[in-house]
Amino acid sequence: MFIDVLLSNFEIFISLSILFIVVAFILLFLLQLQNFKSNKNSIIEYAQSINNTSKEIKEYLIVVGNLLEHQKKEILNISEKIIFIEREINKLGNIKGSEDVLNLAINMVREGNSKEEIINKTGLREDEVEAIYTYYKK
């Protein structure tokens, strides 16, 4: 009996089945279309976010580059000042060293040391020792 009902209404069941399958495919198609639109919007948002981030990074790198360039100039200025100060210190050291040698020679003359002893101990020239001897001998 069930088979008789099936056979008598076979065309209707097949038509309904095909209609159901077509409607299901249409619904699946619409669902996929909706998913594609959603994914497309998400991808566009991510792309804009990446673009904005890359612009920010570019601006940041430009600022860092300018800062580094400024610091490079400052370092060059400081190194020039350091070189100048080193030269001045060397000059002062040479002057101080000369004064120490002259003071030593003057003290040796006052103590009565001979010219040869003063030349050997201080490394001064003979004419310099002669001048010191002339002015500071008791």
- Tens of pLDDT, residue by residue over 40-60, are 999 999 999 999 999 999 999
The whole-chain average pLDDT of the chain stands at 87
Look at residue 31 and tell me if it is in a domain.
no
Look at residue 71 and tell me if it is in a domain.
yes
Considering its fold, how many domains does the chain have in total?
A: 1
Look at residue 7 and tell me if it is in a domain.
no
The DSSP secondary structure of the chain, one letter per residue, reads -HHHHHHHTHHHHHHHHHHHHHHHHHHHHHHHHHHHHHHHHHHHHHHHHHHHHHHHHHHHHHHHHHHHHHHHHHHHHHHHHHHHHHHHHHHHHHHHHHHHHHHHHHHHHHHT--HHHHHHHH---HHHHHHHHHHH--
Q: pLDDT per residue over 58-101, tens digit each?
A: 999 999 999 999 999 999 999 999 999 888 877 766 655 566 77
Look at residue 14 and tell me if it is in a domain.
no
Look at residue 6 and tell me if it is in a domain.
no
- Give me the domain span that covers residue 89: 38-136
Q: What is the mean pLDDT of residues 107-135?
A: 85
